[in-house]
């Protein structure tokens, strides 16, 4: 499996990351034995980035990863451990969650215990905390980095304005830098391509793309005539992404997949992986079969015409000012020429 450096930092991560948020939940995800088996299979395939949150499955995911690595001497050093903070672990205790100094320090120490490690390679703010200043969060994370507890900082589910401010503050104050963003990105949900991808490009941040199959919508099980397929136990999340635009994407995916001889899920994953902004793509799996399918997508390279058609059929509607910039500003600026691969017809005023 190929490796890429994460943004401007020297951390080397594999093109597919193993997402483990359902490890330890046999009702929805995978039991402990299956989870450990999936870690082994992923690492054997050449992957090195294991991504987990502290809050899901009440910490069981972190504990399973920690026990697996601890029982195999020498394995920890070849693995990139990625986990998160900010989500509260104890209902009714508001001091436990958030991105304040207490939560940052308390949660990283708790993750150490479950992961059975003394340093976390990549530590994500799981979500923006509207009640804590960005300066407080950054200062706390900087202290934790300099204490040797974490190596790199990432931001997940954070507005682009906060990403830009945090990255700039860290640079100006010579604090530990922001290394990467974790964003939802799939052919069904592409709004990250506006503000967040723009921030990542301008600030030199790596991008970890999550949910490439869109809660299973792009797995090949869904269609206009089958919107609640067997096994769609997360139907609410999937149904929120269904609609004519998604079905149009699936029409193209099925045709391209049939022409090239692979399945729909592999095509959807390959499209995300082939995006220029994407450093690594998180695969969430519950079985060996799912893992094998996702790993097989590494051998799939969508041809340029297929990528272009999927880009067009699934083009997202972006908020202002993006429609105005595309329809008016770019044509006015470029005068009908193509610049850096971006074409625009001459602007013509309409009444």
> How many beta carbons lie within 10 A of that of residue 339, not counting itself?
11
Q: Which residue among the candidates 42, 56, 123, 262 is catalytic per the annotation?
A: 56
The first and second tokens of residue 165, run together, are 């401010």
Q: How far is 90 from 279, CA to CA, in rounded Å? A: 33
Residue 102: exposure state from Cβ atoms within 10 A (0-12, 13-18, ≥19) = exposed
Neighbouring-strand partners of residue 281: 16, 209
d(CA 130, CA 128): 6
> Is position 123 annotated as part of the catalytic site?
no
Helix (H, G, I), strand (E, B) or coil at 339: strand
Decide the pairing of beta strands 342-343 and 338-339: antiparallel
Are the C-beta atoms of 153 and 179 separated by less than 8 Å?
Answer: yes
Q: Which residue carries 């200043």 as its tokens? A: 133
H-type helices in 98-133, by residue range? 101-115
Q: Angle at CA 63, nearest 5°, toward 58 and 66?
A: 155
The tokens describing 212, both together, are 């490439």
- Check whether the bond before 321 is cis (ω within 30° of 0): yes
- Does residue 13 contact residue 80 with C-beta atoms inside 8 Å? yes
How far is it, in rounded angstroms, from Cα 274 to Cα 346?
30
Sign of the CA dihedral 166, 167, 171, 174?
Answer: positive
Catalytic residue IDs: 56
């Amino acid at each position: 499996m190929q490796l890429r450096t994460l943004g401007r930092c020297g951390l080397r991560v594999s093109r597919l990351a193993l997402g483990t948020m359902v490890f330890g939940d046999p009702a929805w995800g995978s039991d402990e034995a299956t989870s450990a088996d999936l870690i082994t299979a992923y690492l054997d395939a050449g992957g090195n980035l294991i991504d987990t949150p502290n809050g899901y499955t009440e910490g069981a995911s972190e504990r399973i990863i920690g026990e697996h690595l601890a029982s195999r001497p020498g394995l920890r050093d070849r693995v990139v451990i990625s986990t998160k903070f900010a989500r509260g672990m104890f209902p009714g205790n508001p001091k436990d969650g958030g991105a304040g100094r207490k939560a940052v320090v308390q949660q990283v120490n708790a993750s150490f215990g479950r992961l059975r490690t003394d340093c976390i390679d990549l530590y994500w703010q799981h979500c923006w905390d509207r009640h804590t200043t960005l300066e407080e969060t950054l200062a706390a994370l900087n202290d934790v980095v300099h204490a040797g507890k974490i190596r790199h900082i990432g931001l997940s589910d954070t507005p682009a304005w906060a990403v830009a401010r945090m990255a700039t503050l860290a640079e100006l104050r010579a604090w530990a830098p922001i290394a990467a963003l974790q964003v939802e990105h799939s052919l069904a949900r592409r709004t990250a391509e506006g503000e967040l991808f723009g921030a990542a490009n301008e600030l030199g941040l790596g991008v970890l793309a999550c949910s490439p199959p869109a809660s299973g919508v792009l797995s090949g099980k869904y269609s206009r005539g089958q919107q609640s397929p067997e096994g769609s136990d997360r139907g609410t999340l999937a149904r929120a992404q269904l609609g004519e635009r998604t079905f149009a994407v699936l029409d193209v995916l099925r045709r391209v997949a049939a022409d090239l001889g692979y399945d729909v899920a592999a095509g959807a994953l390959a499209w995300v992986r082939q995006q220029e902004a994407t450093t690594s793509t998180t695969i969430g799996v519950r079985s060996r079969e799912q893992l094998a399918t996702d790993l097989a997508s590494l051998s799939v390279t969508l041809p340029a015409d297929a990528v272009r058609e999927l880009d067009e059929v699934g083009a997202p509607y972006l908020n202002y000012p993006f429609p105005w910039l595309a329809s008016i500003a770019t044509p006015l600026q470029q005068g009908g020429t193509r610049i850096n691969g971006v074409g625009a017809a001459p602007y013509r005023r309409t009444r």
